[in-house]
Amino acid sequence: MNHKGSCHCGQIKFEVQGTFDSAMECNCSHCSRKGYLLWFVPRSQLTLQSSEALLSTYTFNKHVIKHHFCPTCGCAPFGFGIFEGAEMAAVNIRCLEDVELSSIKREFVDGRSL
């Protein structure tokens, strides 16, 4: 399945391939403040539809994930990182079109304790 997504203002657009029925909800300081619901996919499954030069990047703590966000509206639709040697994309499913959030099972992760 192909999902389309964007930041709030539409400057950052992307498509991601795959299916999901759950998303990770982490309680770390960053994820909880932003309200992330994350879906992890191989980086090759996410295609930017806008220029990479439009992205701003934020890293924190162990700098494992490069959280990308729009410098205009501040929305953070995805991040890139490496997990067990593989390039991954962490997609904020709140930024995907036509996702009924109430139907998504949330998998709690205690990132605050890591």
> Helices in the chain by DSSP H: which ranges?
29-34
Domains of the chain: 2-99 (2.170.150.70)
Each residue's pLDDT tens digit, 38-86: 999 999 999 999 999 999 999 887 788 899 999 999 999 999 999 889 9
pLDDT recorded at residue 114: 79
Please give the Cα distance from 13 to 6 (Å, whole number).
4
Each residue's pLDDT tens digit, 23-42: 999 999 989 999 999 999 99
pLDDT recorded at residue 83: 87
Please give the Cα distance from 104 to 88 (Å, whole number).
21
